[in-house]
Structure 1
Amino acid sequence: MLNFNIGKDNVWLRTYLNLEGDIAEKLVYDPRLRFYNLYFDVKDLWNVISLKLGRQPLFNSIAGGLFDGGTLGLNYAGYRLKVYYGGNVPAYQKFELIDNWNDNYILGGEFTVLALQDWRFALKYIDKNFSNQSYTAKRFDPNYNTIDVLIENKSHQYKFVSGEVSYDMPDVFYVNSRYDYDLNFSTTSRFELSGRYEEVDDLGISVYYNYREPKIRYNSIFAVFDYGNTWEIEGGLDYRIEDFYTVFGKFANVSYKNETSQRVSLGISSPWGSVTGRKSFGYAGEMDAISIYGAQSFLNGLITPSFGFSFTRYRLSKDDPHNELISLLAGLNYRPVRILSFDVQGQYLNNKIYKNDWRLFFKLNFWFNTIFE
């Protein structure tokens, strides 16, 4: 894996590559080189314009990922406009452009207002197309003779418009809301509302609500099924103890078409790790789980050991037998200098599918981040 950035001031070339191969047994595709990022990044031209050109990441809650293209951003006096257009990345992140660009593209934009104190408004649009593979199927002609027919679907996949509104009064409370509308199906896809009250010292109160439709590709066979929507509401409390420990608890209720399901979460976190317990029951199945994780640096960050353990016991319905899952990890990070580190981690997994599965990982990490004077 190589994450290499080189540049000066506000002009950078950013790369993220991965070379993989199986050392135990030669596979057909060995070795395989994946290009995740390879783009020019220009920021704050005249304190207004930014530009990205090449294979770049897209962070979007509807259809994020990678694309080959360009992003233009404008930022002035608390108003931001971003537009992007490009082609989908070919399979295995090959270093080439995808075929049939007209049916394999992503197009979108965002307009954000930050000019009002404590408020944030955003309007987003995204249109993602991905060409489906053609296939041949048996069909009847008008005389009921069997013939081969080439099936070709249009490439519509996702087309959404979204709105976001947030209000933040520091050290008192904040509220975030989001609304997604599916233009292909002409229906509400999601409404989300979350908030937190924290005016009382060391105490936090949080609430969360969402209404959600299943997100299905426009030309997918799954679009013909009658899916039910879900409504979810969750409330939580957290309390900080001596600025080191935080205890928290949450309860949620999820409503389906004709059923409900509940979950409870309890835990404690600290700078050295966390312990979390969770219980789910109702229509979505029954689950009891506990997880423990800890990590601590020593000798000014020279070595950092880590440890994790989880145990889960679950079943889908009252008539099903219980299944159990155990996972364990232990690792060590050695960092002799700031830009160089070595990692080793062992992992263990045991459930009804993977019996006593052991894995060992090694990683060498060197930061290539060159700034020209």
Structure 2
Amino acid sequence: MKKIILLVSLFFGLTVFSYSQSLNGRFTSAVYTFERFDTASTSFNYARTYQMLYFNFAKDNVSLKSYLNLEGDIIKSMTFDPRFRFYNFYLDVKKLWNTVYFKLGRQPLFNSAAGGVFDGLTLGAKYNGYDLYGYYGGNVPAYQKFKFTDDLKNDFVAGGKLTIHSIKNARIALSYTNKNFKSISYFAQRLTDELLDTTVLINNNSRQFEYLSGEVSYNLPKTFRINTRYEYDLNFSTTAKFEVTGRYEKIDNVGLSVYYNYRAPRIRYNSIFSVFDYGTTQEIEFGGDYLIEGSYKLFGKFANVSYKDDNSQRLSLGLSSPWGTISGRKTFGYAGELSSISIYTAQTILGGLLTPSFGFSYTRYRLEKNVSANDMTTLLVGLNYRPIRMLSFDVQGQYLNNKIYKDDFRLLAKLNYWFNTNFK
């Protein structure tokens, strides 16, 4: 059972490859250089390389999708270099009998409680405005190795979701998520009933995350939209999160927004942190934006965050335009004091051949009023060269200067190649 899901996915995927009608994807090759201090007085230069491949073999309603990455270093190798990561590798079948769909293999999972990837099966059906699906599989091992968990009973993710689209302008969803992580056993010294010292093997229960969630959304075009989400923690029998996002845009060129959330810390049930006394937070934010001449947008937001015994505030203002964005931010209160300004611009010239970019930010911050403030400066300078539609080259220089990293220079270079082939 260990590798049956991946092997079945591979078998059917090769079948799709044999009879595929199209092949499309992207190949990316990148190198990232930086200096790292392993001790206070010893540093090394690194040049990390990344070879990433995304491809999709497809025939009618069946496709094999994959996203792979091979990383290493051309100056100083790290432990386990080179490292081969399988981010995605799954069979995707849609519209069986115009209703049923399924995914098999290492696939992405979009979920606020258990998001990421897993090795398993997703099976669902869409009919007349209703979408119901369930999923089950093993957690992906560290570094996305191409192997299946050896303890599916205690190392799995499972759940399902029902989404209703049949109500005009509305969306309602109910979901369940159960994610367990295999706990690592260890030996520890303990006292017996006779107060004698002994070594015992500690085996923890793998019970981790278990949530019920509900979502309600309503969107009246060009007037307003509202999205709500509620999460209930079944392990701790308490509300984990309540979130509301709303926007009103009935007034010409004006947008008004509001955001609220109530949130408890997301803590594993059998973690040592679960025995600590912790508090929840509440946050409310009001914002607005004004569109000038169809191209320039002024925006601003103000938020208050309430902690167990204190609160903090943040204020942000900015201007976005076809030339770029400039924004400023100020935070104060319990979360510390921070003042920052940032500028970013990117412009395509020569008919799309070149796209230079520039970014700058300056931040001054401190955790408390009675401590000295720290400064941080970051600078980005980049260039994209695209001689043909399917090929591009990128280079970006990065500079960082703060209390810890003095005059830190980094360089990123990247090649992208898009391909699309149709077979007869």
TM-score (norm 1): 0.98
Aligned to 2:354: 303
* Match among 141, 150, 171 for residue 99 of structure 1: 150
- State how 1:60-71 maps to structure 2 within 5 Å: 60-71=111-122
SS at 2:199 equivalent = strand
- Alpha-carbon distance in structure 2 between the residues aligned to 1:271 and 1:79: 40
1:125 aligns with 2:176: yes
Aligned to 2:203: 152
C-alpha contact (below 8 Å) 1:6/1:371 kept by paired residues? no
C-alpha contact (below 8 Å) 1:7/1:372 kept by paired residues? no
Aligned to 1:112: 163
Aligned to 2:53: 2
Aligned to 1:344: 395
* Match among 37, 55, 72 for residue 106 of structure 2: 55
1:326 aligns with 2:377: yes
- Alpha-carbon distance in structure 1 between the residues aligned to 2:91 and 2:420: 14
C-alpha contact (below 8 Å) 1:72/1:82 kept by paired residues? yes
1:298 partner amino acid: I
Alpha-carbon shift at residue 271 of structure 1 (Å): 2.7
Aligned to 1:283: 334
- State how 1:209-248 maps to structure 2 within 5 Å: 209-248=260-299
Deviations 1:135-181 (A, max 9, x none): 11111001111101111101111100000001111101111111000
SS at 1:367 equivalent = strand
- Alpha-carbon distance in structure 2 between the residues aligned to 1:252 and 1:136: 47
Moved more, 22-31 or 143-152: 22-31
Alpha-carbon shift at residue 12 of structure 1 (Å): 1.2
C-alpha contact (below 8 Å) 1:6/1:369 kept by paired residues? no
1:189 aligns with 2:240: yes
Calculate percent identity across the aligned residue pairs. Answer: 62
Alpha-carbon shift at residue 362 of structure 1 (Å): 1.0
- Alpha-carbon distance in structure 2 between the residues aligned to 1:371 and 1:129: 42
Q: Which runs of 5+ in 1 are unaligned?
A: none
SS at 2:274 equivalent = helix
- Alpha-carbon distance in structure 2 between the residues aligned to 1:116 and 1:175: 15
1:164 aligns with 2:248: no
- Alpha-carbon distance in structure 2 between the residues aligned to 1:274 and 1:95: 42
1:176 aligns with 2:176: no
Of structures 1 and 2, the one with the larger relative CO (CA 8 A, separation 6+) is: 2
Aligned-residue CA RMSD in angstroms? 1.1
Alpha-carbon shift at residue 346 of structure 1 (Å): 0.8
- Alpha-carbon distance in structure 2 between the residues aligned to 1:169 and 1:26: 55
Aligned to 1:139: 190
TM-score (norm 2): 0.86
Deviations 1:49-88 (A, max 9, x none): 2211111111111110010111112111110012111101
Gap change, CA 1:27 and 1:194, over 3 Å in 2:
closer
* Match among 306, 313, 316 for residue 262 of structure 1: 313
- Alpha-carbon distance in structure 1 between the residues aligned to 2:175 and 2:77: 46
- Alpha-carbon distance in structure 2 between the residues aligned to 1:282 and 1:80: 45
